[in-house]
């Protein structure tokens, strides 16, 4: 199912105003991790799955990429991207990953960042299908880099998993249902946002079984300025919200 919460007007408004504040988990935790892990962008062709309003696509061009294709399921996002982050070397396409057809195009780097995450991995029901599709779209030895919510955070079926004392202090993070993969329903500006929980082993083994070599896993913490501007980010030390996985397409291994 192709969930498109970003074309719900209430959600889009709230989300846009959050992102424009510049004070988010993405600004201080996830995006710095993605940018520190991604290989050299210069002269590369890049496919940005879930490009949202195009900030990362623009960042790639500013850092020397020769071509970026940004894909998002949300018309709202793509319109805003075309308005605010246009460039002659960026193509924006409004499409779901399931329906995406880019015949003959191959990319050096494919990225799926949860920063603007109408296509984020934790919203996708069929993870294997995504991996196979990405493999087909990558050039030889191309890179696939994605961020997703950490399995520690998606595991428990009940929402809001910090356990607090009577004064509101966070005692610990409540973990449960880890091995039960599948749907998790969440309230995030609106009811009924559907996510999919997967274990660490599923996230990683599916990549390996489908022709990728794992290069690096990052469980990011906040950059220092984030701890000043959003003091609650100190809790990222207690349990990571995100995981960033970098892998490389491999046509054959020497054994």
The site for a second copy (CB under 8 A) is made up of 141, 152, 155-156, 161, 163, 171-180, 199-201, 204-205, 208, 213-219, 221, 236-240, 243, 248, 250-255
Kind of pairing, strands 90-94 and 67-72?
Answer: parallel
If the CB atoms of residues 29 and 81 are measured against a second copy, the closer one turns out to be: 29
If the CB atoms of residues 72 and 143 are measured against a second copy, the closer one turns out to be: 143
User: What is the closest distance, in whole angstroms, from the C-beta atom of residue 218 to a second copy in the complex?
Assistant: 6
- The 3-state DSSP class for residue 137 equals helix
If the CB atoms of residues 10 and 208 are measured against a second copy, the closer one turns out to be: 208
Q: How far apart are the first and last CA of the chain?
A: 39
Q: What region, left, alpha or beta, does residue 236 occupy, with left being phi > 0 and alpha being psi -120 to 50 degrees?
A: alpha
If the CB atoms of residues 163 and 225 are measured against a second copy, the closer one turns out to be: 163
Answer yes or no: are the C-beta atoms of 81 and 92 closer than 8 Å: yes
Within its chain, how far is the Cα of 230 from the centroid? Answer: 21
Beta-ladder partners of 92: 70
Residues 6+ apart with CB under 8 A from 181: 196, 197, 198, 199, 202
The alpha carbon dihedral of 242, 52, 138, 131 has a sign of positive
User: What is the closest distance, in whole angstroms, from the C-beta atom of residue 64 to a second copy in the complex?
Assistant: 20
Within its chain, how far is the Cα of 190 from the centroid? Answer: 20
User: What is the closest distance, in whole angstroms, from the C-beta atom of residue 215 to a second copy in the complex?
Assistant: 7
If the CB atoms of residues 133 and 157 are measured against a second copy, the closer one turns out to be: 157
C-alpha separations of 125 from 28, 92, 113, 165, 219 in Å: 28, 24, 17, 35, 23
Answer yes or no: are the C-beta atoms of 207 and 143 closer than 8 Å: no
User: What is the closest distance, in whole angstroms, from the C-beta atom of residue 139 to a second copy in the complex?
Assistant: 11
> For residue 251, how many other CB atoms are within 10 A of its CB?
7
User: What is the closest distance, in whole angstroms, from the C-beta atom of residue 32 to a second copy in the complex?
Assistant: 15
If the CB atoms of residues 10 and 213 are measured against a second copy, the closer one turns out to be: 213
Residue-level length of the chain = 255
User: What is the closest distance, in whole angstroms, from the C-beta atom of residue 173 to a second copy in the complex?
Assistant: 4
If the CB atoms of residues 85 and 148 are measured against a second copy, the closer one turns out to be: 148
User: What is the closest distance, in whole angstroms, from the C-beta atom of residue 7 to a second copy in the complex?
Assistant: 35
């Amino acid at each position: 199912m192709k969930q498109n919460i970003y074309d719900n007007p209430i959600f889009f408004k709230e989300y846009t105003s959050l992102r424009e504040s510049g004070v988010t988990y993405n600004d201080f935790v996830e995006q710095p991790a993605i940018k520190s892990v991604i290989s050299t962008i210069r002269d590369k062709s890049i496919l940005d799955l879930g490009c949202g309003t195009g900030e990362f696509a623009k960042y790639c061009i500013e850092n020397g990429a020769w071509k970026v294709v940004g894909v998002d399921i949300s018309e709202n996002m793509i319109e805003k991207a075309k308005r605010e982050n246009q460039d002659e070397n960026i193509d924006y396409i409004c499409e779901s990953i399931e329906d995406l057809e880019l015949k003959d195009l191959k990319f050096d780097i494919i990225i799926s960042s949860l920063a603007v995450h109408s296509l984020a991995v934790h919203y996708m029901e069929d993870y294997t299908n995504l991996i196979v599709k990405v493999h087909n779209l990558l050039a030889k030895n191309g890179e696939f880099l994605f961020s997703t919510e950490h399995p520690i955070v998606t595991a428990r079926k009940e929402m809001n998993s910090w356990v607090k004392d009577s004064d509101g202090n966070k005692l610990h993070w409540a973990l449960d249902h880890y091995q039960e993969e599948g749907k998790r329903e969440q309230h995030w500006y609106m009811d009924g946002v559907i996510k999919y929980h997967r274990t660490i082993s599923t996230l990683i083994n599916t990549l390996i079984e489908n022709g990728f070599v794992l290069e690096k896993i990052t469980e990011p913490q906040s950059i220092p300025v984030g701890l000043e501007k959003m003091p609650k980010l100190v809790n990222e030390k207690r349990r990571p919200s995100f995981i960033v996985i970098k892998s490389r397409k491999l046509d054959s291994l020497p054994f």
